[in-house]
């Protein structure tokens, strides 16, 4: 187990699945590279778990194709797919000790006792819990139970690791610690891994790439930063962090392109674009707030401010929207009061233009 297993890629082609009249997965196409840590990210009910379970072989048979390491697995039962799955609920056997829980899958496979003992010890070592081998699950903390659930899965030496919201039963600080441990373990084993989460920070901080799902449809696939900086649509823009969305039109004024908001504010457009109705997505850090007007600024009014520690978050009414703007906090600078008239300078180089 300390040896890296052969890394396998996963190919999904035109996958469709419905529960009765409810379409749960629609035309899913996905290619996961060998050894990749890949996240399925989306809101509740978007189909993440159903997609993961389809790869594992649980639930109804979808139409389309799923290949693991080039092998078509759609008609194979879960135990023949060589995947290991960790569930949100851990599902440890309450009447078995830690050692017996981890050994369970190996006993089912009828391996020799000495090999079981060696592999269980290795797996417990890997998650740093060898000293708790004799404990019962109810004598473990949530984080320890989660590690045992992982050990129990990796001990069978799967070629693909599937994790369904594995950290969501843990408190916030433990989640952060566990996601780092999980990533370190994945790198050590070199296992192709899919991680289902509805938490964008969790997906951003762990995954090499991710797929954002909404209503059973993949909205976009890419590296976390790519998706944050270049969302393909408003759903992805809004799901991956705070997004200010300005509605308006692209207009040609002489040689220059301008984005004109519904309220009549005109912003210079550095990118090429077709004239017509469009939206602009701006992250809070790409708008600068100041009490002074300058060229290409838009005038707004502070509606609300929140002290976030390193930053102050302002909600500013401007350009026909309520915009979220972050400003670094400095001790010497008093915050801008509610009601103050302010000028917003928009960094249009980092704006994302979405044509309607
Ligand atoms: N066995 C089932 N029968 C009928 N509908 C189902 C079944 N399982 C899931 N669904 C429906 O399929 C849709 C997708 O569910 P799924 O659990 O895959 O979403 P999810 O993105 O993982 O959500 P969550 O984060 O809440 O787990 C939901 O609308 C759900 O109600």
Q: Where are the domains of the chain?
A: 10-232, 242-355
Instruction: Please name the residues in contact with 330: beta carbons below 8 A apart, sequence gap of 6 or more.
Output: none
Residue 62 Cα to ligand 1 middle (Å): 14
CB 193 within 8 A of CB 183: no
Q: Which numeric CATH code is attached to 10-232?
A: 3.40.50.300
- 3-state SS assignment for residue 276: strand
- The ligand 1 atom nearest the CA atom of 20: 4
Mutation to probe ligand 1, out of 24, 166, 196 (largest number of atoms < 8 A from CB) = 24
The response to whether residue 46 sits with its C-beta less than 6 Å from ligand 1 reads yes
Residue located nearest, by CA, to atom 12 of ligand 1? 24
Angle, helices 172-189/142-154, rounded to nearest 10 degrees: 20
In a structure prediction context, what are the per-residue pLDDT tens digits for the chain, which is 356 residues long? Answer: 544 567 899 999 999 999 999 999 999 999 999 999 999 999 999 999 999 999 999 999 999 999 999 999 999 999 899 899 988 877 789 999 999 999 998 998 899 999 999 999 999 988 888 999 999 999 998 888 988 998 999 898 899 999 998 888 778 878 888 888 889 889 888 899 999 999 999 999 999 999 999 999 999 999 999 999 999 999 999 999 999 999 999 998 888 889 999 888 888 888 888 889 999 999 998 999 988 777 778 899 999 999 988 999 999 999 889 999 999 988 888 889 999 999 999 998 899 999 87
- In sequence order, what are the residues at sequence separation of 6 or more whose Cβ sits closer than 8 angstroms to the Cβ of residue 49? 164, 165, 196
**How many angstroms separate the alpha carbon of residue 36 from the centre of ligand 1?**
25
Q: How far is the CA of 215 from the centre of ligand 1 (A)?
A: 10
Q: Report the alpha-carbon distance of residue 59 to residue 42 in Å, rounded.
A: 20
Q: Are strands 311-318 and 321-328 parallel, antiparallel or unpaired?
A: antiparallel
The answer to whether the CB of 67 falls within 8 A of the CB of 10 is yes
- 335: which 2 tokens? 């915050």
The model carries a pTM of 0.89
Ligand 1 in reach of 41 Cβ (< 6 A): no
Nearest ligand 1 atom to alpha carbon 213 = 21
Does ligand 1 lie within 6 Å of residue 62's CB atom? Answer: no
Q: Which two tokens stand for residue 135?
A: 């404990």
User: With contact defined as beta carbons under 8 Å apart, do 249 and 268 qualify?
Assistant: no
Q: Which residue has a Cα nearest atom 2 of ligand 1?
A: 19
Ligand 1 pocket, mutate which of 16, 43, 47 (most atoms under 8 A from CB) = 47
- Cβ–ligand 1 distance for 332 under 6 Å, the answer no
**ipTM exceeds 0.85, yes or no:** yes
Nearest CA residue ID for atom 7, ligand 1: 19
Task: Name 70's Cβ contacts closer than 8 Å, sequence gap at least 6.
Answer: 9, 11
Q: How far apart are CA 113 and CA 133, in angstroms?
A: 16
Question: Cβ distance 219 to 213 under 8 Å?
Answer: yes
CB distance 48 to ligand 1 below 6 Å: yes
Angle between helices 98-108 and 142-154 (to 10 degrees): 20
Rounded to whole angstroms, the Cα distance separating 100 from 275 reads 66
Ligand 1 site-directed mutation target among 16, 20, 21, 22, most atoms within 8 Å of CB:
22
DSSP state of 93: -
Distance from the alpha carbon of residue 78 to the mean position of ligand 1, in angstroms: 19
Residue nearest atom 25 in ligand 1 by C-alpha distance: 44
Which CATH fold topology does 242-355 show?
OB fold (Dihydrolipoamide Acetyltransferase, E2P) (2.40.50)
Please give the distance, rounded to the nearest whole angstrom, from the Cα atom of residue 25 to the centre of ligand 1. 10
Secondary structure string (H, E, C) spanning 51-63: HHHHHHCCCCCCE
Nearest CA to ligand 1 atom 17: 49
Place of tokens 């009549």: 264
Q: Tell me the backbone φ, ψ of residue 30, rounded to 5 degrees.
A: -160, 140
């Amino acid at each position: 187990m300390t040896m890296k297993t052969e890394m396998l890629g996963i190919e999904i082609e035109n996958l469709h699945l419905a529960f009765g009249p409810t379409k749960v997965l629609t035309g899913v196409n996905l290619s996961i590279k060998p050894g990749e840590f890949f996240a399925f990210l989306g809101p509740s009910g978007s189909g993440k778990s159903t997609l993961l379970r389809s790869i594992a072989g649980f639930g109804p048979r979808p139409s389309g194709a799923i290949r693991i390491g080039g092998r078509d697995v759609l008609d194979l039962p879960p135990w023949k797919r060589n995947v290991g799955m960790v569930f949100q609920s851990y599902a440890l056997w309450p009447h078995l000790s830690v050692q017996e829980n981890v050994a369970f899958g190996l006993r089912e496979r009828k391996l020799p006792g000495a090999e079981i003992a060696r592999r269980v010890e290795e797996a417990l070592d890997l998650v740093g819990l060898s000293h708790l081998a004799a404990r019962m699950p109810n004598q473990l903390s949530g984080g320890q139970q989660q590690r045992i659930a992982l050990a129990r899965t990796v001990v069978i030496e799967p070629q693909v690791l599937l994790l369904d919201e594995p950290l969501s039963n843990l408190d916030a600080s433990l989640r952060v610690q566990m996601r780092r441990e999980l990533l370190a373990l994945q790198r050590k084993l070199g296992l192709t891994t899919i991680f289902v989460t509805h938490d964008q920070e969790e997906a951003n901080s762990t995954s090499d790439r991710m797929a954002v799902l909404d209503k059973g449809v993949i909205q976009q696939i890419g590296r976390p930063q790519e998706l944050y900086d270049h969302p393909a649509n408003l759903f992805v823009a809004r799901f991956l962090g705070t997004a200010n969305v300005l509605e308006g039109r692209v207009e040609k004024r002489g040689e220059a392109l301008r984005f004109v908001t519904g309220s009549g504010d005109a912003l210079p457009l550095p990118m090429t674009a077709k004239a017509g109705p469009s939206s602009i997505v701006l992250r809070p850090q790409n708008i600068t707030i100041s009490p002074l007007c300058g060229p290409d600024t838009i005038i707004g009014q502070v509606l609300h401010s929140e002290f976030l520690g390193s930053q102050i978050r302002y909600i500013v009414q401007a350009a026909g929207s309520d915009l979220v703007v972050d400003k670094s906090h400095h001790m010497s600078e008093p915050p801008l009061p509610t009601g103050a008239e302010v000028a917003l300078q928009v960094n249009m180089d980092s704006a994302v233009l979405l044509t309607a």
